[in-house]
A and B are shown apart, each in its own frame.
Chain A
Amino acid sequence: MSTPVVQINNLAVTFDTDAGPVRAVRGVSLQVESGQVLAVVGESGSGKTVTARSILGLLPQTARTTGAVLLSRPDGTGTHDVTMLRGSALREVRGRDAAMVFQEPTSVLNPVYPVGWQIAEGLRAHGGLSRAQARERAIDVLQRVGIPDPEHRVDHYPHQFSGGQKQRIVIAQALALNPGLIIADEPTTALDVTVQAEILDLLRRLPAEFGTAVVLITHNMGVVADLADRVAVMLDGEIVEQADARTLFASPQHEYTRALLAAVPRVGGARLRTAAATEETPEADEPAVAADTAPVVVARDLRIVYPGRLRSPGFTAVDGVDLQIRPGEVVGLVGESGSGKTTIGRAIAGLTAVSEGSLEVLGMEMNGVRERRFRPLRKRIGFVFQDPATSFNPLLTIAQCVAEPLVVHGVASSPQAARAKVDELLEAVQLPRAFGDRFPHELSGGQRQRASLARALALDPELLIADEPTSALDVSVQARVLDLFARLQAELGFACLFISHDLAVVDLLADRIVVLHRGKVVEEGTGDQVLGAPEHPYTQRLLASLPVPDPVEQAERRRQWEELREA
Chain B
Amino acid sequence: MTTTVIPERAPLYKRLPVVHQLRSSVGLQRGMLVAGLVLVAIFLLTAAFAPLLAPYGFGQLRADGELFGSQQRPSSDHLLGTTVGGFDVLSRVIWGSRTALTTIVLAVALSIVVGIVLGLLSGYFGGWLDRVLVVIADAIYAFPSLLLAILAAIVISNGQASKWGGIWATAISITVVFVPQYFRVIRAEAVRIKAEAFVESARVVGAGHVRIMTRHVLRNSTRTLPLIVTLNAGEAILTLAGLGFLGFGISPTQAGDWGYDLNKALGDVTSGIWWTSIPPGLAIVLTVLGVSLVGESLNDLADPRLRTRRRAAALAGTVGTTTAVPGGVLAAGAEGVAGVDLLEGADATPLAGPTPEDDAGSRAANGDDA
Residues of A within 8 A of B (CB): 12, 14-24, 43-45, 47, 49-50, 53, 59-60, 62-64, 102-104, 106-108, 111, 185-186, 349-351, 375-376, 378-379, 381-383, 385-396, 401, 404-405, 408-409, 430, 434, 438-439, 441-442, 444-447, 452, 455, 472-474, 476-477, 480
Contact = CB atoms under 8 A, between A and B. Distances in A.
Contact of B336 (A19, A23, A108): A19
Given A17-B337, A390-B196, A394-B327, A378 B204 contact: yes
- Which applies to chain B's interface (DSSP): helix, strand, loop or mixed? loop
A23 B309 contact: no
Given A104-B347, A474-B368, 19 more contacts: A17-B309, A19-B336, A21-B316, A21-B317, A44-B367, A44-B368, A49-B344, A60-B342, A111-B351, A185-B346, A389-B362, A392-B201, A408-B205, A408-B208, A409-B206, A439-B324, A445-B366, A447-B4, A476-B369
A21 B312 contact: yes
A108 to B, nearest CB: 8
A389 B309 contact: no
B344 A395 contact: no
B328 A394 contact: yes
B62 interface: no
B105 interface: no
Contacts of A395: 219-220, 326-327
B347 A15 contact: no
A474 B365 CA distance: 10
Among A444, A447, A452, A480, which residue has the most Cβ atoms of chain B within 10 A?
A444
A472 B311 contact: no
A14 B312 CA distance: 10
Interface of B: 1, 4, 6-7, 24, 196-198, 200-208, 211, 215-216, 219-220, 309-314, 316-317, 319-324, 326-328, 335-340, 342-344, 346-348, 350-351, 353, 358, 361-369
Contact of B316 (A23, A102, A111, A405): A23
A441 B362 contact: no
Given A19-B322, A391-B201, A445 B367 contact: yes
A20 B350 CA distance: 29
Contact of A19 (B198, B320, B364, B367): B320
A486 B166 CA distance: 70
B327 A64 contact: no
Given A44-B366, A473-B366, A15 B320 contact: no
B207 A446 contact: no
Given A16-B339, A21-B312, A393-B216, A444 B206 contact: no
Contacts of B324: 439, 441-442
A390 B309 contact: no
Contacts of A49: 343-344, 346
Nearest to B220: A395
B310 A16 contact: yes
Contacts of A44: 344, 365-368
A21 B327 contact: no
16 contacts: A17-B337, A17-B338, A19-B321, A19-B335, A44-B365, A50-B340, A111-B351, A111-B353, A387-B197, A387-B364, A390-B198, A395-B220, A408-B208, A434-B6, A444-B4, A480-B1
B366 A62 contact: no
Contact of A446 (B204, B309, B317, B368): B368
Contact of B369 (A62, A382, A477): A477
